Structure 1
Amino acid sequence: MVQQETWTVLKVLTWTKEFLTQKGVENARLESEWMLCAVLGLDRMGLYVNFDKPLTPKELADYRGMIARRGRREPLQYILGSQEFMGLDFAVAPAVLIPRHDTEVLVNEAVKRAGKTSSILDVGTGSGCISISLAKALPGAIITGVDTSVDALAVAEKNCNTHGVAVKLLHGSLFEPVQGQQFHMVVSNPPYIPSDDLKTLQPEVRDYEPAGALDGGKDGLDFYRQIVAAATDYLVCGGWLLLEVGIGQAEQVRKLFFDNGKFAEVFAAKDTADIERVVGGQLK
C-alpha cells in the first residue's frame, strides 16, 4: 500500500511560493500565507506556530483550488472575497472594481468639506466603499450611490448591510437616477484608463476587473467631461464636486473645472506618494 504524501503547513507554503513566483505573482509568499489563513481559519501568527501541522484532504483541496485561481492571475481579493479600505472590510466580486488605497484620498478630502448633515452623491459607487466610508465618517449625512451595474449594486447593498449604514442605492448612468435633485457634494472615482492602455495593464486588472469601471475613452477623460459639465445642475450653490484622477491627469481635469466657469476654489490633493489623486471645486 502506497503511503500518501503528507503536506504540512510549511511544505505547502514553500511549494506555493515557488509555483506563484513562476506564474509572475508578486509577493508570492505573503499571498500564499493569506490564502492558507483563509482555508485554515488562522491568522498569520497561527500559521507560524503550526508549521508542522498536516493539512486534511479537504483543506488541501480547498487550498489547491485557490492556488489554481491565483496562478491564472485572478486577483487575490476576488479569491478571498474581500478588501480592506479606510479601515473597513468590503466584500468584492468580479462585478466591482477592487477598492484601492489611493481612493482614500477622495474620502478624506470629502470629509474635510462636508457638513455633518450634507447630502452626498457618489457617482459610480461600485462596491460602495466610498459611500459607506463617508456614511461611517459622517453619520448624519444623507448618502446616495448610483451605478450602471445591477450586480455591482448588489455587492454595495451587501456591504451596506455588513457595516450597518443606510445608503440609497440607485441603478442608472451618471446623474440619470437623480434627475431634478441637488446635493451638497458630488464625489466620483470614474473610469480613467485610456482605451488603448487597457491591454498593457497587469493581467489581474485587464482580464478580471470590470472593463466598464476602467475604460475612460480615448484619452481617459470622457467621464470627467460629462461629470463636470452636468454636475452644476445637481449641486446646491456652494456645493463641492470631488473627483479621483489617474496619474498625470490632474492638470487636464483642473482645466475642465476652470473652463466650465462655474467653479471656484479649484484644488488638487496628493496621495502618500506625492501624486495628485483628487481634483475638486466649489460651485460659485
Structure 2
Amino acid sequence: MSAPTAAMAMAAAAARLRAAGVPDPARDARILLAHAASVDAARVTLIAPEEIAPEIAERFEHLVALRAVRVPVSQLVGARAFYGRDFKISRDVLDPRPESETLIETALAEPFTRMLDLGTGSGCLLVTLLAERPDATGMAVDLSEAACLQASANAVLHGVQARAEILQSDWFEHVEGRFDLIVSNPPYLAAEEMLTVAPELALHEPRMALTDEFDGLSVYRIIAAQAQGYLTPKGRVMVEIGWQQGDAVRQIFENAGWGRVTLATDLDGRARVICADRPA
C-alpha cells in the first residue's frame, strides 16, 4: 500500500482538528504541514499530490496532536506574523494579536524619538515601532525574565537591538528617564473572564500577561497615576484595551488629571486604544 499524499494527510488532520473544536482546522493543518515539511505555507499546494515522506508524516502527526489539545499554532511553529514581520514566540509570552496593530498605527501617526514599552512580552510593540522609525530609541520592561529574553531575541532578529534597552521591571519600578511615547498592552482580562476564554489562552499562554487577577483595570490605574512623571512635556501614552473597556479606561485617565484623552478604533470600529496627552 502506497503512502498517503500530503493532501490526504492534510484532510485527515483537518478533520481531527475540527473534531477537537479548533476554530480554523484547514488553515492550521496547512500551516503545520508546511512547518513539518520545511516549506513555505503558500507552497503546500505544490506538494499536495506527492506522497508524504515518513519523517515528515511523523513530525506532522506530532504537531497535529499538540494542536488538537489546543497548543497555539504560533508556539508549534515558533513564530507569529505581526505588522509584516515574523516574531519568535514561546509559551513564555503572549502571542502577538492583529488587534495590537491598531496601537502601532496610532503611535506611528505622530512623531517620537524616545519610547517606552511597558509589559513588552515578545517585544512586538517595541521592535515594530523602532523598525518603523529608524531614528528612534526605546526601552522595554517586563516582570518576566523569560519575556525579556524573548523580546531581546526579537530585537536582534529585526536589527534594532542597538537602539533598544530591555529590562526586568515591575512596571515603572526600574524605569528612569523621560519619553515622548509610552505604549502598553497590559493584562486587561478580569479574573472572571479567564473562566470563559479559549483553551489556547487559558492553558498555553502566560496568565500574568492576560489578567490582573482582579477587574482587568488595575494596570491602567498604575499607568494613569505614574506615567506623567516619565513623559516629556508633549509626551503621550497609548494603551491597548479590551473592546468593551473604552469608557472605563478613559475615565481612569481623566480622573488622574490627564489632558486630552481619546479613543482609537480597529478596522471593525471597536475601541482598541486609549490615547492620553500630558496636561498642558
TM-score w.r.t. length of structure 1: 0.94
Counterpart CA distance in 2 for 1:44 and 1:154 is: 28
Q: Is the counterpart of residue 121 in structure 1 residue 116 in structure 2?
A: yes
One-letter amino acid matched to 1:168: E
Pairs aligned (count): 277
Shift of 1:102: 0.5
Residue number in structure 1 paired with 2:245: 249
Residue in structure 2 matching 1:234, options 225, 230, 245: 230
Shift of 1:247: 1.5
Residue number in structure 2 paired with 1:92: 89
Shift of 1:171: 0.6
Residue in structure 2 matching 1:205, options 201, 204, 207: 201
Shift of 1:182: 1.5
Counterpart CA distance in 2 for 1:124 and 1:272 is: 25
Question: What fraction of aligned residue pairs are identical, expressed as a percent?
Answer: 30
Deviations 1:170-190 (A, max 9, x none): 0111011214x2111111010
Residue number in structure 2 paired with 1:147: 142
| Structure 2: runs of 5+ lacking an equivalent | none
Shift of 1:47: 2.5
Per the alignment, in what secondary structure is the counterpart of residue 188 of structure 2? coil
One-letter amino acid matched to 2:208: G
Counterpart CA distance in 2 for 1:77 and 1:45 is: 16
Residue number in structure 2 paired with 1:19: 16
One-letter amino acid matched to 1:170: L
| Structure 1: runs of 5+ lacking an equivalent | none
Counterpart CA distance in 2 for 1:114 and 1:217 is: 35
**Runs of 4 or more consecutive aligned structure 1 residues displaced over 6 Å after TM superposition:** none
C-alpha spacing 1:65/1:130, structure 2 compared with 1 (3 Å): same
Deviations 1:178-230 (A, max 9, x none): 14x21111110100000111021000011111000001332210100011101
C-alpha spacing 1:183/1:39, structure 2 compared with 1 (3 Å): same
Any conservation in 1 of the 2:241–2:273 contact (CA below 8 Å)?
Answer: yes
Deviations 1:51-102 (A, max 9, x none): 2311222111111110110011101110011111111110110000000011
TM-score w.r.t. length of structure 2: 0.96
Residue in structure 2 matching 1:31, options 8, 23, 28: 28
